Structure 1
Amino acid sequence: MDVRMKQWTKKQKVMLVAVFAIIVAVVGIAAGIVNYRVTQEGVKHFQVEVTSERDGYSETTDCKSEEEYLGNFMRTFEGCEWQEAEYGIYITGFNGMQEDIDNQYWWCVMVNGESATFGADEIPLQDGEIYSFVLTQGW
């Protein structure tokens, strides 16, 4: 029995590339839909929680803002210490409670109790949300 690898014709190769391109496009569109973050116009009422077990500190503040994104709001939030970074606002502390990179302390951003998957500049402000900043140790 003569077993040879089948040679692909030019038409088959073009079809394979076309199918692959369609699959990549569908996956890209699906990812865009999943990651789409709707903004809300007008005044939003929400809470900002700041918690540091290291410093024995926990405070919740009722807030309102017309800003569309959390990062823009945090730039004006009293006590928030931040700096501009390559990917937007980077929270370094609150009311003197600083991150401590040498000891792996950093500010984790959470939305309604779940770790944010985006930076504060990409998190839309929404009515009724709770935005938490938790001083976390460890990578």
Structure 2
Amino acid sequence: MKKKCLYGIIALLVFCALAFGLWRVWQSSLPETAEGSKTVTVAVTHADGSMAEFTYQTELEYLGELLQQEGLISGSAGDYGLFVETVDGETVDYAKNQSWWRLTCNGEDAATGADSVVLHDGDQYGWFYTIG
């Protein structure tokens, strides 16, 4: 009986050590945030091809947080973070015509969702109404 209890305690300690190690690896893989004031530009290309450009100065660290606070984007929470449905007043409807908003960071497609994009001074972001 004592032997089973000892094995249980050892298994629990091993599990806790592995969980802590995985948490540390995950933490170290997160992008570094940039503190302080930064100026960023956001360009929006609408379904009709019209464009709008916005410049923000902020001390926030994430794009999604900034654009939601400014009222430029809105959406719903999904398994992978914020699913952006509306940008600059225009809403996509994937079920109707497979439309969605494509996000770029400094000319490259974003590797993460808007709420995980770290802001850096001088960055340029683009939102493109996309079908298909």
Q: Return the alpha-carbon distance in structure 2 between the equivalents of residues 91 and 131 of structure 1.
A: 14
What stretches of structure 1 of length at least 5 have no aligned partner?
Answer: 1-28
The structure with the greater share of residues assigned to helix is: 2
Report the equivalent of 2:64.
71
CA pair 46-96 structure 1, distance change in 2 beyond 3 A: closer
Report the equivalent of 1:100.
93
Moved over 6 A (4+): none
Report the equivalent of 2:106.
112
The TM-score, its normalising length taken from structure 2, stands at: 0.71
- Matched-pair contact (CA < 8 Å) for 2:87–2:127: no
Aligned length: 107
Kindly name which structure, 1 or 2, has the bigger radius of gyration based on alpha carbons: 1
- Matched-pair contact (CA < 8 Å) for 1:55–1:97: no
Asked if 1:89 is matched to 2:82, the reply is: yes
Deviation at 1:87, TM superposition (A): 2.1
Percent identical residues: 33
CA pair 67-88 structure 1, distance change in 2 beyond 3 A: same
State the secondary structure of the residue aligned to 2:45: strand
Report the equivalent of 1:11.
none
Q: Return the alpha-carbon distance in structure 2 between the equivalents of residues 99 and 118 of structure 1.
A: 19
Deviation at 1:47, TM superposition (A): 0.3
Q: Return the alpha-carbon distance in structure 2 between the equivalents of residues 95 and 82 of structure 1.
A: 12
Matches within 5 A, 1:10-29: none
Greater Cα shift, 35-44 or 58-67: 35-44
Residues 74-120 of structure 1: per-residue CA shift (max 9 Å, x gap)? 21123423222222222111243111212111000100111001111
